[in-house]
Amino acid sequence: MLNNFLDRLGDWNPQLLRELKGRLLLRNIILTMIISFGSQFLLFIAFKSQLPISQDRFLNNSNKYCTGKLLYGLPRCLSDEFSDTIINWQLWWLDLFTWLSIFACFSLLVIGTYLLINDLANEERRGTLNFIRLSPQESQKILVGKMLGVPILPYLAIALVIPLHLLSGLAANISLGSILGFDAVVLATCFFYYSAALLFGLVGSWLGSLQAWLGSGVVLGFLLLTKQSLVSVSINSAFVFLRFFNPFYFIPELSGSNDFTSGYEWTNFNWFVLPLGKSDIIITGLAIVNLFTLIYFTWQALQRCFRNPNATMLSKQQSYLLTFYFTISSLGCANWQSIIWDNAHYSSAMKDELACLLFLHFWLFLYLIAAITPHRQTLQDWARYRHLAEQKSLGNSYVIKDFIWGENSPSLVAIALNASIAITFLSSLILLANNYSQTKISAIYALILAGSLAMLYAALAQLMLLKKTRHRIFWAVGSLGAVIVLPVFIMLMSWSSYPGNSNFIGLFSVAAPLLALYTPDRESLYSLGVLFVIFVQVMISGLVILQLRQQLQKVGESATKVLFAPQSNRR
């Protein structure tokens, strides 16, 4: 019977069968069971030890699981007719359910991410990844087999947690529907993180042995950072968009636990003034829809990069759709109630929300630069064919379409269009805000500075990736890192009691949009100074683009000469 099942599994997905055979060894299964049951036992004992001790030994004591009036900030312990302490078992089970859910989902995300990235790195090192690429299987089936098979032991460990997970949730008076809704969010989050891990494993092989640790470390850091920092952020803030990527915020009855406050609730959440937070079902559905939309873009990138390692992660058309979706989704989380209806013209709601959105879009555009910027070989082929097209006089319309939609053309026009899409929608915050005109002008300057910085970073990255060296990715990452970090470091070093000078230096850094947004006029940051900085940034971008154009022309001409050299020799 087992052989028949394995045969059917192998027919459906040979890659999955290969992964399972390599991992489902008896020793691994026993060790996984010991770790899973042992962890549950230790957690159960830890919570058991927090229960109050008998009233016979200590009088007038208090404990968070007692039921009396507050004594020193904790409920006083009461006894029944048998001298046994009355325990708030519902709260105890809720705390156990909450922490069990946190440990389970965080472990599943971090360990699974590490295993997937490390597995692809090992395949690359052994040379078997190219063999898998050449197999007749569909790339989608191979990647699904990896995703289901590589983290099979963490799946087994979490499956053994499900009984205690359900028992503690039901004992805490949480409905089965709420528990299953949380589990659905965890599954969708795993699907997204694991898809991103596979993509990072394919495109980040240049990081070597650091790759798996970096990927899983970023996931763990993001989960912990968002868990701790977003609590103090208003539920109607653009930063709340990050909550949709952390399943911690979807744990049922989280605010009822002793260890967490009402700041974790979704009740007052509005999306474009729509009160979606009133319904747990809608919030859960919104999270799943958001995750699966981003999973779609991730899998488009996965399938492109798996078959052709030299391909860009996204096509230019897909990048426009991603920018549109990301901008609309994050913009809807902004505090529109305060922005539109706040009667105080000096209110900082618009500036605060725009700053949050610019921060989120900074990471989006770093990804877009990496995702749609072609490398040297692709640009060399494109430059050769463009050189031939110019000789045939195909016209400007062909060139424009190629820059906007072409798979192999440089990414600068596409980045500019993506920036235009984002700026257009973010401008709605400024237009609808009930603020003074000077505040709105500062916000417009911030958007222009952000757009010019995006163009500068894109041009620099494209120029570095055109270099004739094996380590051009290091050059691109190092150059971008230096341009982003060094000006901020210089600004902080020059900070003095009169911050106007350092603010002006900061206008040439990644912090320029925030400085233009928040620095008052009286601190010597005037419109003329901002316009001068914008002009300088545009000039620098223009010089980099001019250098890039010259390099492309040189590459195209030399490649064309090489292509036609044999024909000339034969003549």
Sequence-distant (6+) residues with CB within 8 A of 378 are 310, 311, 312, 408
Q: What angle do CA 567, 569, 570 make, to 5 degrees?
A: 65
Q: Which helix (H) or strand (E) holds 73?
A: none
74, β-bridge pairs: 71
* E-strand stretches of 260-382: none
Q: Is the pLDDT of residue 571 over 50?
A: no
Over residues 65-91, the pLDDT tens digits come to 888 887 777 888 877 777 677 888 999
Checking if the pLDDT of 375 tops 60, the result is: yes
**Average pLDDT, integer, range 375-401:** 72
Per the CB < 8 A criterion, the answer to whether 512 and 533 are in contact is yes
pTM (two decimals): 0.91
Give the chain's length: 571
DSSP state of 524: T
Rounded-to-integer distance, Cα 60 and Cα 414, Å: 70
Task: Name the β-bridge partners of 79.
Answer: 85
Question: Which of 131-145, 299-313, 446-460, 507-521 has the least mean pLDDT?
Answer: 507-521
pLDDT tens string 161-217: 999 999 999 999 999 999 999 999 999 999 999 999 999 999 988 888 889 999 999
Burial of 151 (0-12, 13-18, 19+ CB in 10 A): buried
Q: What is the DSSP letter of 276?
A: G
* Residue 459 in tokens: 């041009």
Helical axes 280-307 vs 176-203, angle rounded to 10° = 20
Tens digit of pLDDT for each residue in 302-313?
Answer: 999 998 888 899
| Segment 442-452 mean pLDDT | 92
CA distances for 300 relative to 14, 293, 317, angstroms:
22, 11, 12
Nearest to 558 by CA among 379, 412, 394, 396: 379
Q: What is the DSSP string of 102-150?
A: HHHHHHHHHHHHHHHHHHHHHHHHHTHHHHHHTSSS-HHHHHHHHHHHT
> How does pLDDT run across 430-446, given as a tens digit for each residue?
888 887 788 888 899 89
Q: What single-letter DSSP state applies at residue 409?
A: S
Reply yes or no on whether the pLDDT at 568 is more than 50: no
* Those residues with Cβ within 8 angstroms of residue 257's Cβ, 6 or more apart along the chain or in another chain: 91, 94, 95, 98
pLDDT digits (tens, 9 = 90+) for 330-374: 999 998 888 887 765 566 888 889 999 999 999 999 999 999 999
76: β partners: 62
Residue 3 — pLDDT band, cuts 50, 70, 90? low
pLDDT given for residue 365 in this prediction: 96
Band of residue 558 on the pLDDT scale cut at 50, 70, 90: low
198 touches 99 (CB < 8 A): no
Predicted local distance difference test score (pLDDT) of residue 509: 84
Q: Does residue 290 surpass a pLDDT of 70?
A: yes
What is the C-alpha to C-alpha distance for residues 363 and 361, in angstroms, rounded to an integer? Answer: 5
Task: Output the average pLDDT for the chain.
Answer: 86
pLDDT digits (tens, 9 = 90+) for 463-509: 999 888 778 888 899 999 999 988 888 887 776 555 556 666 777 78
Q: How many CB atoms lie within 10 A of CB 124?
A: 17
- Check residue 561 and give its pLDDT: 58
| H or E element that contains 74 | strand 74-75
Q: Taking residues 520-548, what's their average pLDDT?
A: 78
Write the DSSP symbol of residue 86. Answer: P
More confident residue, 61 or 365: 365
- Whole-number Å distance between alpha carbons of 463 and 545: 8
What is the model's pLDDT at position 400?
83
Q: What pLDDT, on the 0 to 100 scale, is given for residue 500?
A: 55
How far is it, in rounded angstroms, from Cα 459 to Cα 106? Answer: 38
pLDDT of residue 68: 80
Cα 368 from Cα 401, distance rounded (Å): 19
Q: What is the pLDDT of residue 346?
A: 60
Cα angle 333, 335, 341 (rounded to 5 degrees) comes to 140
Hey, is 271 helix, strand or coil? Answer: strand
Are the C-beta atoms of residues 314 and 304 closer than 8 Å to each other? yes
For residues 546-558, average pLDDT: 80
Name every residue whose Cβ is closer than 8 Å to that of residue 129 and which is 6 or more positions away in sequence: 120, 123
Taking residues 256-277, report their average pLDDT: 82
pLDDT band at 230 (very low <50, low <70, confident <90, very high): confident
> What residues contact residue 364 under an 8 Å CB cut-off, 6+ apart?
322, 323, 326, 422
> Taking 70 as the threshold, does the pLDDT of residue 252 lie above it?
yes
Higher pLDDT, 7 or 461: 461
Domains of the chain by residue range = 2-25+32-38+90-264+271-303, 52-86, 310-562
The sign of the torsion formed by the CA atoms of 496, 499, 500, 503 equals: positive
Is residue 391 pLDDT above 70, yes or no?
no
Range 420-432 average pLDDT: 93
Query: 260 or 283, which is more confident?
Result: 283
Give the separation between CA 452 and CA 360, rounded to whole angstroms.
17
pLDDT over 70 at 412, yes or no: yes
Cβ contacts of residue 404 below 8 Å, gap of 6+? 316, 413, 414, 417
- Between 17-26, 103-112, 163-172, 502-511, the lowest mean confidence (pLDDT) is in 502-511
Which tokens belong to 435?
């603020």
Find, among 501, 515, 507, the residue nearest to 535 by Cα.
507
Q: What percent of the chain has pLDDT over 90?
A: 46
pLDDT confidence bin for 294, thresholds 50/70/90: very high
Contact 419, 455 (CB under 8 A): yes
Dmax (CA) of the chain: 111
